[in-house]
Structure 1
Amino acid sequence: MPKMGFTLGSNSGFNGMHIESTSFRLARRYPRIVAFTLIEMLVVIGVIAIFIGTIGLSIGGGNKGVAMQNAQGTLLSSLSGARAKAALYQTTAAIFVNASPDGSGFMHELRIAILVDHDNNPTTPSVWVAKGDVIAFSDGIYLVPPASAFPPTIITYESPTVSDWTKAHSTAYDSSEVELYAADGTTRIDSMKYNRLIRLTERGTTSDAGSLILAPARVVPGATGLGLVFDEVQALRGARVSVYGVATLVEGLESFSN
């Protein structure tokens, strides 16, 4: 009786099954990638920027140059955060600086807020609702407001004379006092007064283009609490913000004077 043999060899059916099985496993292992939306990316970038700025604050130490550099990074991250909030909530967002001389955050702390019509009544004004936590510059570093914003009894300019500071003031600054509110639109977040800096639309543009200047300052007793003495005009840092909301970091008095 003849022997009957069986050889696997290069059986095409077997190979086909093997390829099909491998392809199925690969498809399960590598699912389809879903892209982020523009708003999600802006929010992530804003959060990362604020996180990096916060880390920078913690390593500022006593070196004034490093502290100034960190404060400049904090300013930039605040702009990114405001832009992300404007895109997320599809409304105007802005950066505010603490303008209450009776508090330790005077010209030192920032808040981000969005413009909200809290009662859906067109006859009542919209309010600024704070979003996120207080953002503080490095110790000893403050925002330089316009010379007309506060009297000499609160802010003094030296180095060695006031004339040295003629062009060393933030121009993207509205000295009108503003109150910030909680999410309900009726409860104030604190008793502090705030001045508005940069407003950003949901598209990231601004009508408040100008400069935001930072400088070291000495804290002295003021007429109503805290007083500041700016006496290092050559140590300026900050940013110029264009109408497109793009910030350019600058350093030195000459950079702001041009």
Structure 2
Amino acid sequence: MRHSPSSAARGFTLVELLAVIGIIAVMATVIGVSLGGGNASASLGSSQRIAAGVFQSARSIAVLKQTQTKVVVYESGDTGIDPGKYLRFLQVIYKTTDSSGADVWVAANAGTYLPQGVYYVPRTGGFDSSVLTIASETATGGAMTSDNVTFRPVEGSTVSVRVTGYVYEFDSNGLSNNNGDTVVFAAGTVSGYDGTTGAPRLTFDNQYAVTGFYIRKTGSVILADFDDLNNI
């Protein structure tokens, strides 16, 4: 005796297939949005790790060479502002002596860029969508201003370069001279350039797209997120 196939055995109806296709389309859209939004998060996370590595490198070099070191966040150089390096290029320099016995500063490496679209934030207050101002809070509440630093590209060189930037210092024991300071990075966009200085005009599209860390007296860093950084 034959039995007619049940509705379960007949497979999907056209309506069911359309419903499944619709669900897949919605899921694909959601996943696409998540991945798109994740790009900024990934860049910020990378920036935090890269910068923390640079600071720890400066600390290690100070201890190994028993000398002072500095992390310089570029603002401008000998030839003016390089938009590609502006507030997103970090370099470690250390103190040594040249052949004449004079104290000189020398680059410890070629320098490191933050991921595209992420910038160091010189800041005076909370995060908003305004153009960044050139100032930065420190643990003591004073404004951290940019400074001029002269150093040689490689040890043994007699040629020096001059950079204006934000400087964080370590002593010969690897201890930080910026104990308690915050180092902050944010996802930003360039909306034109200053006609006088040539500096990019940086704006924030997302006030929550920030990351960074605190510097401890020991020279180590404590990673921080938006909630931490927005309440200092």
Give the TM bin, normalised by the shorter chain: 0.5 to 0.7
2:188 matches 1:214: no
Letter in 2 for 1:215: A
Call closer, same or farther: CA 1:78–1:87 in 2, change over 3 Å.
Answer: same
Question: Could you give the per-residue CA deviations for residues 218-257 of structure 1, whole angstroms, max 9, x where no partner exists?
Answer: 1233222231323233221001001111200001054342
User: Contact 2:71/2:168 (CA < 8 Å) preserved in 1?
Assistant: yes
For structure 1, the residue ranges without an aligned partner over 5 or more in a row are 1-60, 149-156
Q: Structure 2 vs 1, CA of residues 184 and 236 (structure 1 numbering), >3 Å: closer, same or farther?
A: same
Instruction: Tell me if structure 2 keeps the 8 A contact 1:217–1:228.
Output: no
Q: Answer 1 or 2: which has greater helix percent.
A: 1
* Correspondence for 1:120: 101
* Counterpart selection for 1:235 from 205, 209, 214: 209
Q: Distance in 1 between matches of 2:216 and 2:198?
A: 35
TM-score (norm 1): 0.61
Distance 1:160 1:144, change over 3 A: closer
Inter-CA distance 247–222: structure 2 relative to 1 (3 Å threshold): same
Equivalent pairs, count? 181
Compute the displacement of 1:170 (Å): 5.3
Structure 2 alignment gaps of length 5 or more: 1-36
Which contiguous aligned blocks of 4+ residues in structure 1 show a shift greater than 6 angstroms?
A: none
Q: Which has the larger radius of gyration?
A: 1
Distance (Å, rounded) in 2 between the aligned partners of 1:255 and 1:188: 36
Query: What does 1:180-199 correspond to in 2, within 5 Å?
Result: 180-182=151-153, 183-184=155-156, 186-189=158-161, 193-199=163-169
Matches within 5 A, 1:1-258: 63-100=39-76, 101-118=81-98, 119-121=100-102, 126-147=103-124, 159-160=128-129, 169=136, 171=138, 173-182=144-153, 183-184=155-156, 186-189=158-161, 193-209=163-179, 210-223=181-194, 224-231=197-204, 232-258=206-232
What percentage of residue pairs aligned between the two structures are identical? 22
Distance 2:58 2:228 in 1: 28
TM-score of the two chains, using structure 2 as the length reference:
0.67
Matched position secondary structure for 2:84: coil
Range with greater deviation from structure 2 (212-221 or 225-234): 225-234
